Structure 1
Amino acid sequence: MRGSLAAPAPLKTSDFHYHLPQELIAQAPLPERSASRLLHVPPGDAPFADLHVRDLPSLLLPGDLLVFNDTRVIPARLFGAKATGGRVEILIERLLPDNEARVQLGVSKPPQVGSRVALDAGGEAEVLARLDDGFWQLRFHVDDPLEAWLQHAGQLPLPPYIERRPDAADAERYQTVFARETGAVAAPTAGLHFDETLLDALRARGVEFGHVTLHVGAGTFQPVRVDDVHNHRMHSEWINVGAELVAKVRRARAAGGRVIAVGTTVVRALESAMVDGELLPFAGDTSIFIFPGYRIRSIDGLMTNFHLPESTLLMLVSAFAGKQRMFAAYEHAVRQRYRFFSYGDAMLLWPEATDAR
């Protein structure tokens, strides 16, 4: 897609493996959003700093621009049964017109096209097609428009590594405080650390805010199933990089400010909107895949959570901060007992080579 890749070098999925003790996978959020720890990873060989998210204003400068993803998570998990009695789990990937949706199915035996699933919450889901990429297309026969119906019938789709059912607290804490554009089935987790107190402190520091939209899909949890990273096919997600955000980026850069992405979803959105090195407004699908060898040009800093071993997101942050530097940071985080993944702690990264950007 848009962007610039250097000549391919041998790169295996196993190159991005690291050992993570199971007990470091956060199963619930902390009581206070900004109380999470923040690992500061300066460029070069400067030592890491063990801080907290509430310390973020001291790491930024007046005129810096923080870019958030304002997507909102929908209650996208449903359960039902086939006519044969077999149980079905439905995870909505994307809402489509006419009460249709692109979904993942958890089922022992694939359903037949044309068959129907009786939904536990009422109504039926008609199987329209099996798609080439392993997803399915369903039409929902329910009482209301699908998006509205899901608000009371669906279950919040916590990630598979959170080994519990969602509770009432997750309805608030698995959304960012600035979520407004409905359509994601997973939260942009770096944004979960921000509360109004932290946002006020950043404003007082002179930091500016901007927003993009990337509706995170269920494909974000799919593992890389090929040995050679270059052969991985990335899932598609819908993004919107608006003209207002583009203008804010240009003003910040012109005034000497830095553009700092809050989350890998923001990086993917901004890089997808780059044309010949220039950020332009863009709305549509992206399947951009960023891994070492790709030069990220749209941002100057990145705040992100810790990512799964061998995941495309770990590859993205390695492309930005350098693979060796990144793995040293992860080893430090494991030693210091940071909390990992969606409800875990965060890190603030700077590019591997600032003079080349």
Structure 2
Amino acid sequence: MTENPKDLTIQDFRYSLPDAAVAQYPLANRDESKLLFYQQGTVSDHTFRVIPDLLPSGSLLVFNDTKVVQARLLFTKPTGGTIEIFCLEPVAPHTEMQQAMQQTGSCTWQCLVGNAKRWKSGTLQLVLPQLKLEAELQERVADAYLIKFSWQPQELTFAEVLEKAGRIPLPPYLNRAADETDISRYQTVYAAAAGAVAAPTAGLHFTEKVLAELSQRLISQAKVTLHVGAGTFKPVKAPSMADHQMHAEEIYVSLETIRQIQAHLSKPVIPVGTTSLRTLESLYWLGVLVSQNPKISNLHVPQWLPYEASAALPTPTLALQALADYLTKNQHDYLRATTQLLIAPGYSFKICAGLITNFHQPESTLLLLVSALIGNQWRTVYEHALKKQYRFLSYGDSSLLLP
């Protein structure tokens, strides 16, 4: 039985982040960002492009290949007011992101709406060269809205519609409009699977040259997909973590990649970013679930599962084998699941031996994850980064953490 973090208070993960430390824009060259290297209590400063020299020999780096979609749509009412629609997640006819992005003609999404008070009913139109997009307000759900989109030409996919009509959804804390450079820079060089509304920002530092050098150093690479939702910015408002509900996110991992990870467990498996880490650790818990119930159909990791599980848990090798067997038996060549996994102090890592990540907001679940990995040393790391004028948050500098 693992220590339960439900009693943690988020105030214990507070630090002072000056506005000047938040990177407003990306550097011109991705791999010129600073890299803080933390290893067994020691901190040193580097440039990101030397990361191949710092990684343990024989490591497997795991990247999240999700692609940020231009999920912000701006409509102008006939009266002149602007309504902003931020697409969060698909509702109909598909709830699975990959399928929803390929939908043609029309679809319904759960969205945030800016200036919602000015849009009580009716249909909004956005007319562009070679695209006419309509948005119809259907109903309110919690703090969001269901909106039906329809478009001409009907043969366009929704991914193509967003690419033509949408804007890059920069993080809310940047407090600025996206410009032309954001279209390419708020995207990793290996992005492939459209569906994220926020970038897996640890990957923004990688260049084709750095990736090639990793291969030359015999550092293996694997890809997983976790579509980052707007919930990644969801603040923790509850007095204790027991009352905070983690957002659910979709993960996709090929059977081949699961076997690659399983074969690599004797050497360091290092995720690029917190989303890759959550995906890898979720694979273990999905393996636990299918080994306990081979007929399970809803593959979902609840946020408290690791802290409520019995002591008799399978090894990572056996858990991943159970997951591979489950997929093979059901004739699936890839895994599709959802995860609400909360990784906080008290968590016992099953697959990951380190982490490449940016510097996160105070009182965030991402900071809890870093603390779970390196303990209270997170304060030493963050104080060092602030003192050395590292750039923080999405467009900021990077760290390699090896506990």
In the superposition, the TM-score normalised over structure 2's length comes to 0.80
1:80·1:118 contact (CA, 8 Å) conserved in 2? yes
1:91·1:218 contact (CA, 8 Å) conserved in 2? no
* In structure 1, C-alpha distance between the alignment counterparts of 2:6 and 2:167, rounded to whole Å: 43
- Determine which of 95, 111, 133 is the counterpart of 1:123: 133
* In structure 1, C-alpha distance between the alignment counterparts of 2:6 and 2:147, rounded to whole Å: 40
Deviation at 1:84, TM superposition (A): 7.4
1:35·1:54 contact (CA, 8 Å) conserved in 2? yes
Aligned partner of 2:167 in structure 1 is: 155
Aligned partner of 1:270 in structure 2 is: 280
Aligned partner of 2:327 in structure 1 is: none
- Tell me which amino acid in the other structure corresponds to 2:207: D
Aligned partner of 1:60 in structure 2 is: 55
Q: Which has the higher helix share?
A: 2
1:305·1:347 contact (CA, 8 Å) conserved in 2? yes
1:80·1:120 contact (CA, 8 Å) conserved in 2? no
2:66·2:194 contact (CA, 8 Å) conserved in 1? yes
**Is 1:300–2:297 an aligned residue pair?**
no
| 1:119-163 CA-partner distances (Å, limit 9, x unpaired) | 47653211223224x232211122243221111100111111223
The 5 Å alignment of 1:206-221 reads 206-221=218-233
* In structure 1, C-alpha distance between the alignment counterparts of 2:114 and 2:342, rounded to whole Å: 26
More displaced 10-residue stretch of structure 1: 136-145 or 214-223: 136-145
Aligned partner of 2:145 in structure 1 is: 136
- Determine which of 32, 37, 42 is the counterpart of 2:39: 42
Aligned partner of 2:372 in structure 1 is: 319
- Tell me which amino acid in the other structure corresponds to 1:17: R
Where in structure 1 are there 5+ consecutive unaligned residues? 352-357
* In structure 1, C-alpha distance between the alignment counterparts of 2:23 and 2:211, rounded to whole Å: 24
In the superposition, the TM-score normalised over structure 1's length comes to 0.89
- Tell me which amino acid in the other structure corresponds to 2:111: V
More displaced 10-residue stretch of structure 1: 235-244 or 339-348: 235-244
1:88·1:106 contact (CA, 8 Å) conserved in 2? yes
* In structure 1, C-alpha distance between the alignment counterparts of 2:246 and 2:80, rounded to whole Å: 34
The 5 Å alignment of 1:174-323 reads 174-253=186-265, 256-274=266-284, 275-276=287-288, 277=316, 278-279=319-320, 280=323, 282-322=335-375
More displaced 10-residue stretch of structure 1: 66-75 or 285-294: 285-294
Larger Rg: 2
- Tell me which amino acid in the other structure corresponds to 2:236: V
Deviation at 1:198, TM superposition (A): 0.5
Where in structure 2 are there 5+ consecutive unaligned residues? 94-105, 289-315, 325-334
- Tell me which amino acid in the other structure corresponds to 1:135: A
| Root mean square deviation, CA, Å | 2.0
* In structure 2, C-alpha distance between the alignment counterparts of 1:185 and 1:49, rounded to whole Å: 33
Among all aligned residue pairs of Structure 1 and Structure 2, give the percentage whose two residues are the same amino acid: 43
| 1:288-311 CA-partner distances (Å, limit 9, x unpaired) | 222112222121110000011111
- Tell me which amino acid in the other structure corresponds to 2:390: Y
